[in-house]
Amino acid sequence: MQDEADCDYVIVGAGSAGCVLANRLSADGAKVVLLEAGPSDWHPMIHVPAGILKLLYNEAVNWKYETEAEPNAGGRQIYWPRGRVLGGSSSINGMLFVRGNAADYDGWAQMGCTGWSYEDCLPHFKSMESYAPGDDAHRGKNGPLKIEDYRTVLPLTHHFVEAAQAAGFPFTPDLSGAQQEGVGYSQMSRNGRYRGSTAQTFLAEARKHPNLKVETNAYATKLLFDGKRCTGVAFNQKGQQREIKTSREVIVSGGSVNSPQLLQISGIGPAEHLKSIGVPVVHDLPGVGANLSDHYVVRVSYRIKELLSINEYSRGMRLAGEVMKWLATGKGALTFGVSSAQVFCRSREGLASPDIQLLFSPASYDEKVFGALEKQPGATIAVSIARPESRGSIMARSADAAVRPAIKPNYLDAHGDINVLLAGIWHARRIFASLSISKYAAHEVTPGQDVQTEDELVEHARNFGTTLYHPVGTCKMGTDPMAVVDPRLHVHGLHGLRVIDASVMPTVSTGNTNAPTIMIAEKGASMILQDNSP
Ligand SMILES: Cc1cc2nc3c(=O)[nH]c(=O)nc-3n(C[C@H](O)[C@H](O)[C@H](O)COP(=O)(O)OP(=O)(O)OC[C@H]3O[C@@H](n4cnc5c(N)ncnc54)[C@H](O)[C@@H]3O)c2cc1C
């Protein structure tokens, strides 16, 4: 491509969504430029699945955000890692593959997102993935994203799955298949021994297209407008300010933190707020940055006896053995993701679908050192409020793109969320108490045996809960006055501009958000191609 101003599409952000869009749009012959603020994904720890613990704090590939002091979570500022590298957060995430519940998407359609029911989304969930063991009616076999079961399953995980069944949860063979509810083994976005980020799958495939140009270390600082039409993007690359013009569309895929920030500093957002930070208003859109929703988790962990946990595999001679095993066979502890089995269940009778996700890990974490494994053997059930009611916001503090936005998730603001959390902790304790695992569970480490009453548990949840890294909703799709994009993902009231990433989800999916984000991009790409076809 000789002249960048001559491209058809500019995509801002090469994350989970951006890499999918780059693939599908360039496959159609269009001239596409993909801008990514971070570097290429050269870092070796990206590709070794268990390397995630080395990426959580790594500023070479991570935005390392922090929330404001959270009023209902002990006044703490909560650490928010986000990927800043080709592949975005799919290059640093826990690799769990979870599609969500059919009711999530039917709920979106019900909220005014016409065309987004589960039945409408299913073809895109299938076309994005290859999951060999899945049944053809529900799972894809030929898509770029490789989904695999765990290659090595520790006995502790099998005991958890048995214990959950003993506690009353039915066995679910495929948590992203016909039925989500129940207990099942986790699936991973993994390609053999390596992480399956969207950079290593969708983008790697698209690199063959000569009409795709990828610009790394290119930070978009402003969307350019001619009246109400978006015509291009200004970006900073290694200290140089550049501009790129597009003939068709600009697609913002910067993720739930950066997409609303870029819109706001470009003049699209709540007019009063924009004026207060000195940004000239291009289009008053009150919902930009509002409706932030995230999964808040509290861990229930036990000291384990007689069996090995990941804690032991992560150090000393055992770790050396696992490195050798990974190199020789591509199996073992280095291929693990963050959770080997999960339960989807309900907090109370009468709900139509699960509102709790329990994520089991045959490992335990130091509550004081983020991401550090304990030295003694342990196992953890992370209790996640899967369909939270609390809502927060992400607002630019300054017109300057270099100033980080204010992140206010407002965790546990809704009382309903606290009730769900309490029910989830109760379920987790019941599972650890059930016979198949209780003989290996020496004692509860966290919350701890002395934390029993409702008040004590709520206090613990406020002081020790954290993010499951799933912020969504800050550029929500819909047709109500707070919606930012319409059901075809166009920004309301403007031309030539769409947002396509996790930020458009009107409500967070029941489970981890990478697969739903990739589906949104897959569906968004097909809409763009339809809308631009002659
Ligand atoms: C630590 C962690 C663990 C997680 N674990 C899991 C898991 O196990 N399973 C799961 O399903 N989900 C998981 N998630 C969530 C999942 O990865 C995200 O929901 C998903 O990646 C979001 O995709 P996205 O395209 O919206 O944003 P991202 O993938 O974050 O991509 C946004 C990209 O845009 C770039 N960008 C931003 N602003 C600009 C700009 N102005 N100019 C240029 N580029 C820009 C960013 O650098 C980034 O590369 C995890 C997330 C994290 C952070």
pLDDT at residue 357, rounded to an integer: 98
- Do 335 and 366 belong to one domain? yes
Q: Whose CA is nearest to atom 3 of ligand 1?
A: 93
98, 104, 514, 520: residue to mutate for ligand 1 pocket, most atoms within 8 A of CB: 514
CA–centroid distance, 514 to ligand 1, in Å, is 8
- Measuring from atom 4 of ligand 1, which residue has the nearest CA? 93
| Within-domain flag for 24 | yes
- Residue 5: pLDDT band (50, 70, 90) is low
Do residues 30 and 171 share a domain?
no
How many CB atoms neighbour CB 44 within 10 A?
Answer: 9
Q: Are 281 and 275 in contact (CB under 8 A)?
A: yes
Count Cα neighbours of 326 within 13 Å in the Cβ-side half-sphere. Answer: 20
In a domain, 521, yes or no: yes
**Are 379 and 364 found together in one domain?**
yes
pLDDT reported for residue 367: 73
Residue 496 CA to residue 429 CA, distance in Å, equals 52
Residue 3 has pLDDT above 60, yes or no: no
For the residues 82-100, what does the mean pLDDT come to?
A: 98
pLDDT beyond 60 at 371: yes
Whether residue 40 is predicted with pLDDT greater than 60 in this model: the reply is yes
Is the pLDDT score of 59 beyond 60?
yes
Q: Is 259 within the bounds of a domain?
A: yes
Which residue has its alpha carbon closest to ligand 1 atom 37?
254
Query: Which whole number is the average pLDDT over 143-162?
Result: 96
- Classify residue 234: in a domain, yes or no: yes
Q: Does residue 489 register a pLDDT over 70?
A: yes
Pocket of ligand 1 (CB under 6 A): 12-18, 35-38, 81-84, 88-90, 92-96, 98, 219-220, 253-256, 258, 262, 338, 469-470, 501-502, 512-515, 517
Q: How many residues make up the chain in this entry? A: 534
Q: Which DSSP category does 340 fall into?
A: S
Mean pLDDT in residue range 393-419: 98
Rounded average pLDDT over 308-336: 92
Range of weakest confidence among 106-120, 250-264, 310-324: 310-324
Q: What is the pTM of this model?
A: 0.97
Please report the atom of ligand 1 found closest to the CA of residue 80: 53
List, for residues 169-186, the tens digit of each pLDDT value.
999 999 999 999 999 999
pLDDT, greater one: 315 or 172: 172
Rg (CA), the chain: 22
Query: Quick one: 44 and 87 in the same domain?
Result: yes
Residue 1 has pLDDT above 50, yes or no: no
Per-residue pLDDT tens digits for 269-281: 999 999 999 999 9
What spacing in Å lies between the alpha carbon of 90 and ligand 1's midpoint?
A: 6
Catalytic residue among 470, 490, 492, 495: 470
Distance CA 404, CA 339 (A): 31
Among protein residues, the one with the nearest Cα to ligand 1's atom 16 is 514
Q: Are 393 and 341 in contact (CB under 8 A)?
A: no
CA–CA separation, 7 and 219 (whole Å): 18
Ligand 1 center to 216 CA (angstroms) = 16
Q: Among 96, 365, 469, say which to mutate for ligand 1: greatest number of ligand atoms within 8 Å of CB.
A: 469
> How confident is residue 369, by pLDDT bands cut at 50, 70 and 90?
low
Q: Is residue 88 part of a domain?
A: yes
pLDDT given at position 88: 98
**Same domain for 364 and 486:** no
Distance 513 CA to ligand 1 centre (A): 9
3-state secondary structure of 417: helix
Expressed as residue numbers, the domain containing 248 is: 1-49+78-143+193-294+393-408+472-534
60: pLDDT strictly greater than 70: yes
Strand ranges for 92-202 from DSSP E? 129-130, 145-149, 182-185, 187-191, 194-195
Lowest mean pLDDT among 52-56, 377-381, 397-401: 52-56
Query: For residue 127, what pLDDT is reported?
Result: 98
- Both tokens assigned to 75: 């006044």
Residues 370 and 335 in one domain: yes
pLDDT at 2 over 50: no
More confidently predicted of 170 and 368: 170
| DSSP SS3 for 249 | strand
Bridge pairing between strands 129-130 and 145-149: parallel
pLDDT at 370: 66
CB 183 within 8 A of CB 196: no
Active site (annotated) includes residue 138: no
Burial of 533 (0-12, 13-18, 19+ CB in 10 A): exposed
What's the CATH code of the domain at 323? 3.30.410.40
Say whether pLDDT at 222 is over 80: yes
Ligand 1 centroid to residue 170 C-alpha, Å: 32
- pLDDT tens figures, 124-151: 999 999 999 999 999 999 999 999 999 9
Residue 121 lies in a domain: yes
Looking from the CA of residue 235, the nearest atom of ligand 1 is: 42
Same domain, 1 and 110: yes
Domain boundary among 447, 464, 481: 464
In angstroms, rounded to a whole number, what is the distance separating the alpha carbons of residues 428 and 501? Answer: 32
| 290 and 433 both lie in a single domain | no
Q: What is the mean pLDDT of the chain?
A: 96
Q: Determine, yes or no, domain membership for 216.
A: yes
Angle 74-77-83 from CA coordinates, rounded to 5°: 140
Helix (H, G, I), strand (E, B) or coil at 161: helix
Q: Choose among 493, 518, 506, 3: nearest CA to 247.
A: 3
Is the domain of 451 the same as that of 377? Answer: yes
Please tell me the distance between residue 91's alpha carbon and the centre of ligand 1 in angstroms: 8
> 255 C-alpha to center of ligand 1: Å?
6
Q: Which one of 34, 59, 79, 89 would you pick to mutate in the ligand 1 pocket, going by the greatest count of ligand atoms within 8 A of its CB?
A: 89
Instruction: Say which amino acid occupies 371.
Output: G
